[in-house]
Amino acid sequence: HHVASFVRELKSNMTLRSEVLGFPMDGFPYMEAVVGFSIFLSVFEFYLLVRQRRRYYSTQPPPELAELVPRDKFDQSQHYGRAKSALTMVEMVVSTLTSVYFLMYGVYPRLWNVSLEVMTRVNPEWSDANEIVRTLVFAGLLYVIGKVCGLPFEVYSTFIVEKRFGFNRTTVGTFIKDEILGALVTAVLGGVILPTLWYIIDRGGSNLWIKFYLFCTFFMLLMTIIFPNLIAPLFNKFVPLEEGELRSRVYDMASSIRFPLGKIYVMDGSKRSTHSNAYFYGVFTKGIVLFDSLLEQCKGKDNEVLAVLCHELGHWKKGHTRKGLTIRLAHLFLLSWLYGKTAGNVHLFESFGFSDQPHIIGLILFSLILTPLESAIELPMNWLSRLHEYQADAFAVHFGYEKALCSALVNMHIENLSNCNPDPLYSAYHNSHPTLAERLGALQTFSRELESSKPKAE
């Protein structure tokens, strides 16, 4: 009954929208298809979250972790999971309702018209012929609306949930500074990217998709250089790891596998959160970044830090970074080709309530109709990512870090109150890493296989 009522309401709104806006519904009903799939995907993900939330009410850890995770820490992680999932549920409902409202009631076309009014008030000589300026105004309005909608959840997560469980160290001043810096970085990048994209699309012709692909590829590779060197230092301090045994052993490890290690930095991640992490960056010469919170959690346990870094180096040695880049480029190639097929589709614009075909709107609409494909790709990509995690773990075992890595993984799960009781379906859909129990079991298997492969003494 409720489904039938919703369908009647949807049809009624579709008819009303067509009559009010005066646009024909010829061709494929793109907008209706996007709305329908968005609702379906949201309902499915909400169902997965409900399944996972039930797991957060369990009072017993999984048997594999019963002797590894202290009971009080398990209870804390369960409470933390419940708090985060409750916020996620509310955010998911609000986000879905907002998206559906924006689509079904023609908010995007209205916002495009508002952007013209704003720019003509700023400079009366501007008109709808100045599409680049209008595009920048439209993008700015979208950014502001997105911030207004998302900021309450960000504030609640940071200052209520994270603070309640002892993770948050972000002050109000730091939070405001981050928001301002983030807006400025977005404005600078958008001020360069959007006009360039507009020009490429406007002059693309029959080879639009090739030019679009080349530009996006260039920008993606450029960001791998710009982000760690120019953007990240705006938000955090990076200081070289001090001289000592740990630093020497990291360089020795990198040298043994010919990893082109440049510098090792310690990042002051603890000024915002006590969550820990480590990563490497760079295209040719690589750098390693250690969160200061990781070093604090592993204080006096250099082998655990080395085990984590050995795992990260394993990704490089096994070619995961190259494979990931190849897959991203192939994915971008497919998207560019598909975009070239839809860029001039008049019915696509009309279905969403637009009487003209602005270039930036075409990109937004293309991203909307691409949602089913992106959702389908997400599952195999998560599977591949988990496979790579297993391989990187096996690499660390080969270097003799099985026990240290097991200890590091358990400690990081405990300190970060990570999910120790994941729902299998939720994990398969969302997680790019295997669960803690799965990784510990695999590490033991890798260790046994390594032992059995060694020649036995006569």
Q: How many CA atoms within 13 Å lie on the side-chain side of 229?
A: 11
| Contacts (Cβ under 8 Å, ≥6 apart) of 282 | 224, 228, 260, 262
The one catalytic residue among 162, 350, 389, 393: 393
Handedness of CA 257, 394, 432, 298 (dihedral sign): negative
Residue 213 CA to residue 192 CA, distance in Å, equals 17
The one catalytic residue among 45, 91, 131, 312: 312
Q: Is 449 a catalytic residue?
A: no
How many Cβ atoms are within 10 Å of 456's Cβ, its own excluded? 6
When computed from its CA atoms, the radius of gyration of the chain, rounded to whole angstroms, is: 25
Structure token digits, residue 247: 């630093």
Following CA atoms 264, 266, 267, 271 in sequence, which dihedral angle do they give, to the nearest 10 degrees? 180
Identify the residue whose tokens are 């994941």.
422
Q: Which of 328, 242, 240, 243 is nearest to 288 (CA)?
A: 240
Q: DSSP letters along 157-210, please?
A: IIIIIHHHTT-B---HHHHHHHHHHHHHHHHHHHHHHHHHHHHHHHT-GGGHHH
Q: Three-state DSSP class for 261?
A: strand
Q: Which residues of 249-265 are buried (b: 16+ CB within 10 A; e: fewer)?
A: ebeebbeeeebebeebb
Identify the residue whose tokens are 């298809």.
33
Angstrom distances, CA of residue 325 to CA of 144, 271, 283, 286, 393 = 32, 32, 11, 15, 21
Q: Is 312 a catalytic residue?
A: yes
Catalytic residue positions, numbered? 312, 393
